[in-house]
A and B are shown apart, each in its own frame.
Chain A
Amino acid sequence: MVDTTVNLCGVKLQNPVIPASGTFGFGAEMSEFYDLDLLGSISIKGTTLEPRFGNPTPRIAECAEGMLNSVGLQNPGAEHVAKVEIPQLRQRFHQPVIGNICGFSIDGYRECCRLIAPQVDIVELNISCPNVHNGGMAFGTTADGAAAVVQAVRDVCDRPLLVKLSPNVTDIVAIAKACELAGADGITLINTLLGMRIDLRRRQPILAQKMGGFSGPAVFPVALRMVYQVSKACNIPVVGCGGVRTAEDVVEMMMAGATAVEVGSENLRNPFACKEIVENLPAVMNDLKISKLTDIIGIIE
């Protein structure tokens, strides 16, 4: 028997596998495919204070080993999420829930957190969405901007606070350290990389927004590198996210320094991705002679 449990910011997870925000909705659709209770946790769809339609379509483009999205945080708003979506999720999912919150102003983030935090076990602060103007990534691309949001949200957040960072920066370590100093309990790495594709026949960008977030297996090495750098520099847990599609990828992320691992785009092409990863994890651990998953966190010097 192998031990797959991990402790994420004081919250015990039966395994480190977490569907990433925006690739799993609020769980209802995926529960038609399998029993969600086998997951470590779920990071629910990014939530803003007010309901959002999101960006114009097309919002999806494909590329080699990955995809672009410019969804733009479509969500029914914090009140609806807190009152309807999370209680519904709790009925079909009995593991810890991560609430992912986003905003366009510091006040917006705070108000959103006030509504969502009481309903979830961990809050994930999204300051890295590349698809909305004056929001998300605007805060996450400077150390000062990141620290300001984290501090403001920290004051109203009585749950463990993860901060999800953008890879579209020069110095990820400086931003992560600023978040740690401002009171973050953990760092999620990475949100999507800003990318673009063009339809050659139409001579137009494929995405209506022109640019969008690049994700999928192609970004795995970038995410892994950032997880490694940040986990070495900070003293708070790191959640690895980016291009994960197999149990081996989970182990690799953890060796690089991740305490838990989020699975994103793979959920959109294989609805059973997270289930397969969870089920394959013990065999992969046996094969690699890992009896306790926490033993390998950050073993790379």
Chain B
Amino acid sequence: MLNIKMKVVENVAVANEVYRMNLVGNVPQLVPGSFVELSVPGFYLRRPFSVAATAEGRLMLIYKVVGKGTAAMKDFPVGMELDVIVGLGNGFDVARARRSALLIGGGLGVAPLYQLAVALKKRGVDSTLCAGFNSANDIFLKEEFADVCTEIRYATMDGSCGMKGLVTEQLLDIEYDTFYSCGPLPMLKAVQAATHTPGQLSLEARMGCGYGVCMGCTILTVSGPKRVCKEGPVFEKEELVW
């Protein structure tokens, strides 16, 4: 956990109501699947965001306008200085993937899978991305994923890109030794049932602090109450109870 100042160097629309914000600052190397808490001027609580990519001194966030806070964010000008807490949560265990990993994402949950796919490629692991969206114009980071994944399968609810239907309906013939997933709860539940190996699921939650002190985001797991912001957001498939 580190509280730093970062500067906006890019803040552009990349899909329907979805924006890409690039920030620069003294950010350390971040574990894929960890998240950040961004202070939005005029709003009391910070906003948690997954990290889509990191490089030296650079951070990429993909966010969707869903309320007043994110609506204010899309107007952040280039050059604006932001107060960010980075390195929150546990992140994905990249090391467990041996030869091939399956990445399953839904909607904005696809964003943190990009940093993960980059890290897996560095380790020589083949990644198959199965990404589900409502429609073709909701899809983001298409070219970026194409550079780091060995196979990509899209599923859209309206059939405008890839298979028509749910992302979890196309996993059967894929070979993998572990999987990683991030997306809405109903999707994660379906992923739990549709996968045949152990794997990790990243959860989203309404948070107060993001660093483990308010107990606002607690879920019940097989081993008792866990904070999504601290013990999570990434949980083992077997840990979650629905």
**Chain A residues proximal to chain B, CB less than 8 Å:** 22-25, 29-30, 32-33, 45, 53-54, 57-60, 62-67, 69, 71, 74, 216, 265, 267-269, 271-272
User: Are B212 and A57 closer than 8 Å at their CB atoms?
Assistant: no
Report the Cα distance A267→B214, complex, angstroms.
Answer: 9
B1 within 8 A of A: yes
**Chain B residues proximal to chain A, CB less than 8 Å:** 1, 3, 39, 43-46, 85, 205-209, 211-220, 225, 230
User: Are A53 and B220 closer than 8 Å at their CB atoms?
Assistant: yes
A-B contact count (CB 8 A): 87
- Pull 6 A–B residue pairs with CB atoms less than 8 Å apart, ordered by A: A29-B211, A67-B44, A69-B214, A265-B44, A268-B209, A269-B209
User: Are A23 and B214 closer than 8 Å at their CB atoms?
Assistant: yes
Give A267's nearest chain B residue, CB to CB.
B213
Other-chain residue from A30, A64, A67 in contact with B208 (beta carbon distance below 8 A): A67
For the complex formed, measure the closest distance between the CB of B210 and the CB atoms of chain A, giving whole angstroms.
Answer: 9
User: Are B44 and A65 closer than 8 Å at their CB atoms?
Assistant: yes
User: Are B216 and A57 closer than 8 Å at their CB atoms?
Assistant: yes
For the complex formed, measure the closest distance between the CB of B188 and the CB atoms of chain A, giving whole angstroms.
Answer: 15
Q: Which residues of B contact A271 (CB under 8 A)?
A: 1, 3, 85, 209, 211
User: Are A74 and B218 closer than 8 Å at their CB atoms?
Assistant: yes
Q: Which residues of B contact A269 (CB under 8 A)?
A: 39, 44-46, 209
The 4 closest A-B pairs by CB, nearest first: A60-B216, A268-B209, A29-B212, A25-B213
Q: Which residues of B contact A54 (CB under 8 A)?
A: 215, 218, 225
User: Are B215 and A59 closer than 8 Å at their CB atoms?
Assistant: yes
Q: Which residues of B contact A53 (CB under 8 A)?
A: 218, 220, 225
User: Are A33 and B44 closer than 8 Å at their CB atoms?
Assistant: no
Give B66's nearest chain A residue, CB to CB.
A201
Report the Cα distance A71→B209, complex, angstroms.
Answer: 13
User: Are A57 and B213 closer than 8 Å at their CB atoms?
Assistant: no
For the complex formed, measure the closest distance between the CB of A95 and the CB atoms of chain B, giving whole angstroms.
Answer: 18
